[in-house]
Structure 1
Amino acid sequence: MNQSISKKGHYFPIMHMSGPNQMATDMMLLEKVKLNSDISIALRFYQWKGLCLSVGKNQKKLPSNWIDLAKRKEIKIIRRPSGGNAVLHSGGLTYALIWRSPPRRKREAYYLASQWLIKGFADLGLPLIFGNQSANPSEKNCFSTSTLADLIDPLGNKRIGSAQVWQKGSLLQHGEILLDPPAKLWMEIFKTKAPKPASISIPKISLVETLYKACRSCWPEVSWQDKKLTKKEYEKITINSMKYALNINQPDLSINPAESIASTASGRANPSG
């Protein structure tokens, strides 16, 4: 990961916002890093306001029980700009890593962009390795399979599920760190038992700082700076957030709420893997 020229890294304190605003923030930061040659990398953690189910950009026809739960306002459903399957955001921690010039090969990019997560959890006594299952397009639940994009514990439990968006060679990788999934709601949504909670050895309060420290150690040549969103950036986020708000009343939920969401599966921005 070392680079010969020192670059800036931007770190944003944990943010609590709605699902659409979180996705708009991730994409805004990807655009910012992509256009600013002084920024090598950006990192942020966040948690979601309310119970939120995010679905992958290319996820088709959502199950009727998800729509029913959303109509009863028990959950909110949003569409991510990245691929992959559905993720229930409740009782966990979400991260977003934006990397201006990652390796072009997708597998290598996943490997290098996840090393700080592996180091951080190893420092906490929980070794993680990459999954080895093939992606299953018919599966609805992100945490039901563990691919090379995911990290699993020694017992084979998937602890972190990640997905990527590429734009002109720059990378957004965001993912969910599973900590304490809600058993009842998980069963209602996915019709299966929730994964086991994280080990009591994982300190939920100091986890963010431990992972940020691990990230800094993986990019030692980067000069890290604490940052906050500006008023103009918040305004832009609010406007763009509607791209990710799913209209649960539309007849065909395979149609994205906005065609302006960049594809993660086609175009020059997608690396070979």
Structure 2
Amino acid sequence: MMGVPWRYLPLLSASGSLQMALDAWLVAEHRAGRMPALLRFYQFSPPALSLGYHQRAWPTPAVAIDCVRRPTGGRAVLHQGDLCYSLITSWIGQSRPAVYRQLCQFLIQGFAVLGCPLSFGTETAAGREANCFSLSTPADLVDSAGQKRIGSAQRWFGTTVLQQGSIPLQPDPDLWQAAWGRPLPDVSPLPPQDQVIEALVAAGRTLWGDPLWPHPLTEEEWAQFSQAQSLSGLPPSPAPAELGRPVDWHCCTDLPV
């Protein structure tokens, strides 16, 4: 990782469908040699429920909410009041779990600076639970009290890896209850979003040896993305009639596959 050029895309607030299509396009650009390794932060606006790439069943929210499919694995994630990140890079010579743990180091180091030490979870991912944040598997980062703070998942495209993650900062208790049918977990608050981004970017600079200056997409790149959006390769987002369909749970873990 050290010495590999990186590009840092600053915070982008947009719909879930655009965010997921953008990650798919960025992966394609990286694989074609037109985009270096990349870190970006983003938020879903409006709030949305994202599903893992292989997820075959999901809850029926008690409120109307967008539902999109991620290009990565894992279970359903409610995106409201959270900070999302994506990493795209190429890797040869290590196992995928080892790469996953190494990429997560910028999260661990950044949160340590914020006074919230994190470690990998220990729970099994087996079972019928659809909510990503109801479990803390070895692919998740938990605080000293064992509470899950960051959920992440990967998908590999040859030697290129896309890692996406969600960091709940200010989730709405009512929306959480409506989406999952249970109360929001009682966890200690995290620092404001700007401080979290600053700490994570600083950790990336240290670990990756790149200044990570903000470099948003240009107008030309947005135009190229718009042209390619229909060819993003993502599975279609589920239709409203499909929500909560009574099929067997697919065993979707947040572990890299």
Which TM-score band (shorter chain)? Answer: 0.7 to 0.9
CA-atom RMSD, angstroms?
2.8
Question: CA offsets, 1:63-108, max 9 Å, x none?
Answer: 3x33x63xxxx21111111111110000110000111126541221
1:203 aligns with 2:185: no
SS state at 2:21 partner: helix
CA contact (8 A) 1:13 1:228 kept: yes
2:4 maps to which of 3, 7, 11 = 7
Identity among equivalent positions (%) equals: 35
- Alignment-derived partner of residue 216 in structure 2: 228
- Unaligned stretches of 5+ in structure 1? 256-263
For residue 150 of structure 1, report the CA deviation from its aligned partner. 0.6
Task: Summarize the Cα distance change of 1:149–1:103 in structure 2 as closer, same or farther, 3 Å threshold.
Answer: farther
Task: Summarize the Cα distance change of 1:253–1:11 in structure 2 as closer, same or farther, 3 Å threshold.
Answer: farther
Counting only pairs closer than 5 Å after superposition, residues 1-273 of structure 1 correspond to structure 2 as 1-2=1-2, 6-36=3-33, 39=36, 41-63=37-59, 65-66=60-61, 69=63, 74-101=64-91, 104-196=94-186, 198-199=188-189, 202-220=191-209, 222=210, 224-229=212-217, 230-236=221-227, 238-240=229-231, 243-250=235-242
> What code does the residue aligned with 2:224 have?
E
How far apart, in 2, do the equivalents of 1:38 and 1:57 lie? Answer: 23
For residue 188 of structure 1, report the CA deviation from its aligned partner. 1.7
- Runs of 4+ in structure 1 deviating by more than 4 angstroms, as ranges, are 240-244, 250-255
CA contact (8 A) 2:29 2:35 kept: no
Relative to the length of structure 1, the TM-score reads 0.81
Task: Summarize the Cα distance change of 1:216–1:58 in structure 2 as closer, same or farther, 3 Å threshold.
Answer: same
- Unaligned stretches of 5+ in structure 2? none
> What code does the residue aligned with 1:163 have?
A
For residue 62 of structure 1, report the CA deviation from its aligned partner. 2.7
CA contact (8 A) 2:26 2:35 kept: no
Relative to the length of structure 2, the TM-score reads 0.86
